[in-house]
């Protein structure tokens, strides 16, 4: 029987959020002067030249060099289903993904390709490309998503910098586990046929890791990793806890929670942050260290996000400049 491979230490990573899948809160100035809530609206209203100038400058080769200098080993690269240019009004981004792979190879970084937005939207949130109804669980959209995964695997499967492919970011809680399981199984088989055995296939727990304990067992799906996202900012419980209990929670509750997940599947912490609810703040360096220590049972972790326009706790680059994360 196959067993879960134990990692000596997790890969250290960051997300390249807000670059190839726009989020107004990450780059608010890009959205000034237009009435756009998401990338779909932006592409309908804004000049494509403006968008391409932004993407040309927001992440460049120098950023990959800087990340390598900081000891970062991998980047999680969110992409939208429009990256090949076949879903107007969205603008193609495949050229930037190609550049990212060249830069990653040059600076010895790995890339986890993250399908962050899928046709029909998997959660109706801004990071799915279009705010609104969750229509992804329809046959047409599922077929389009599989076709996208096939294109990604065929184009990047032999890239030396490819760490893995993350199949779906944060599906909505009401999408059934059975439907997700069927999708994950089909997607896993597709990736395995087109990529080497060393390429990770990563599936989202949808913020419900317990539901996956007995699903997709590692003996049947070698190289399949579960992706969990850890934030202590959004729920009523997060907002209720005083600052010091937030730190205690990260130090004493998070390690056991993640270890339980890692008992059943190799674990990726695809997103985390030192951001806390308004009025709750602890020393950023202590909070960051507590979480990083808790991630010891994971195969990799990725900070959300690499940078934001105005810095702050969501910006890895901002935190490094202020010695609040290492």
pLDDT confidence of residue 282:
74
Classify residue 219: in a domain, yes or no: yes
Higher-pLDDT residue of 280, 9? 9
pLDDT confidence of residue 139:
96
- 283: pLDDT strictly greater than 70: no
- 5: pLDDT strictly greater than 60: no
- 80: pLDDT strictly greater than 60: yes
- 174: pLDDT strictly greater than 60: yes
Q: What φ, ψ does residue 304 adopt, rounded to 5°?
A: -105, 110
**Residue pair 175/142 in contact by the 8 Å Cβ criterion:** no
**Residue pair 90/46 in contact by the 8 Å Cβ criterion:** no
- 241: pLDDT strictly greater than 50: yes
- 279: pLDDT strictly greater than 90: no
Classify residue 2: in a domain, yes or no: no
Work out the average pLDDT over 188-192: 98
Known catalytic residues are 170, 271
Instruction: Provide the residue range defining the domain that includes 239.
Output: 11-321
Measure the CA–CA gap between 314 and 323, rounded to whole angstroms.
14
Classify residue 298: in a domain, yes or no: yes
Name the average pLDDT for the chain: 95
Work out the average pLDDT over 227-248: 91
Question: How does pLDDT run across 247-261, given as a tens digit for each residue?
Answer: 999 999 999 999 999
Give the bridge partners for 11, in sequence order: 300
The DSSP element (H or E) to which 170 belongs, if any, is none
Which burial class, exposed, middle or buried, applies to 171 when counting CB atoms under 10 A from its CB (0-12, 13-18, 19+)?
A: buried
Helix ranges, 60-207 (H): 61-69, 94-106, 139-156, 177-194
Work out the average pLDDT over 13-41: 97
SS3 state at 81: coil
Measure the CA–CA gap between 48 and 301, rounded to whole angstroms.
33
Work out the average pLDDT over 261-270: 97
CA-based angle 167:255:248, to the nearest 5? Answer: 125
Q: Band of the pLDDT at 2, cuts 50, 70, 90?
A: very low
Measure the CA–CA gap between 324 and 130, rounded to whole angstroms.
34
Using DSSP bridges, classify how beta strands 162-166 and 200-204 pair: parallel, antiparallel or unpaired.
parallel
Classify residue 157: in a domain, yes or no: yes
The total number of structural domains in the chain stands at 1
Which range (211-215, 272-276, 280-284) has the least confidence? 280-284
Q: Band of the pLDDT at 1, cuts 50, 70, 90?
A: very low
Q: Band of the pLDDT at 285, cuts 50, 70, 90?
A: confident
pLDDT confidence of residue 284:
63
Classify residue 6: in a domain, yes or no: no
Classify residue 326: in a domain, yes or no: no
Question: How does pLDDT run across 110-146, given as a tens digit for each residue?
Answer: 999 999 999 999 999 999 999 999 999 999 999 999 9
Classify residue 113: in a domain, yes or no: yes
Classify residue 49: in a domain, yes or no: yes
Say which CATH number the domain at 309 has: 3.20.20.80
| Tokens at 237, concatenated | 């419980």
């Amino acid at each position: 029987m196959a067993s879960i491979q134990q990692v000596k230490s997790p890969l250290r990573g960051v997300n390249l959020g807000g670059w190839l899948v726009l989020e107004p809160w990450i780059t608010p100035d890009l959205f000034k002067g237009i009435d756009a809530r998401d990338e779909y609206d932006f592409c309908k209203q804004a000049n494509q030249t403006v968008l391409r100038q932004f993407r040309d400058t927001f992440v460049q080769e120098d950023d990959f060099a800087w990340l390598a200098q900081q000891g970062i080993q991998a980047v999680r690269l969110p992409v939208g289903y429009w990256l090949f240019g076949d879903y107007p009004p969205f603008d193609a981004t495949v050229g930037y993904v190609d550049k990212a792979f060249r830069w990653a190879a040059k600076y010895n970084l790995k890339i986890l390709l993250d399908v962050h937005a899928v046709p029909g939207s998997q959660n109706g949130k801004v990071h799915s490309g279009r705010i609104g109804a969750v229509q992804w669980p329809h046959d047409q959209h599922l077929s389009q998503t599989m076709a996208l995964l096939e294109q990604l695997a065929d184009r990047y499967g032999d890239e030396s910098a490819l760490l893995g492919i993350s199949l779906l970011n944060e599906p909505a809680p009401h999408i059934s586990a059975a439907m997700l399981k069927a999708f994950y199984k089909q997607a896993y088989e597709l990736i395995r046929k087109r990529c080497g055995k060393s390429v990770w296939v990563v599936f989202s727990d949808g913020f419900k890791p317990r539901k996956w304990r007995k699903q997709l067992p590692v003996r049947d799906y070698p190289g399949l990793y579960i992706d969990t996202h850890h934030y202590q900012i959004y729920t009523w419980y997060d907002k209720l806890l005083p600052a010091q209990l937030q730190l205690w929670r990260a130090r004493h509750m998070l390690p056991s929670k993640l270890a339980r997940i890692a008992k059943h599947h190799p674990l990726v912490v695809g997103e985390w942050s030192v951001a806390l609810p308004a009025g709750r703040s602890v020393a950023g360096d202590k909070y960051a260290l507590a979480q990083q220590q808790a991630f010891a049972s994971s195969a990799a972790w990725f900070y959300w996000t690499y940078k934001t326009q105005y810095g702050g706790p969501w910006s890895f680059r901002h935190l490094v400049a202020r010695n609040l994360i290492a």
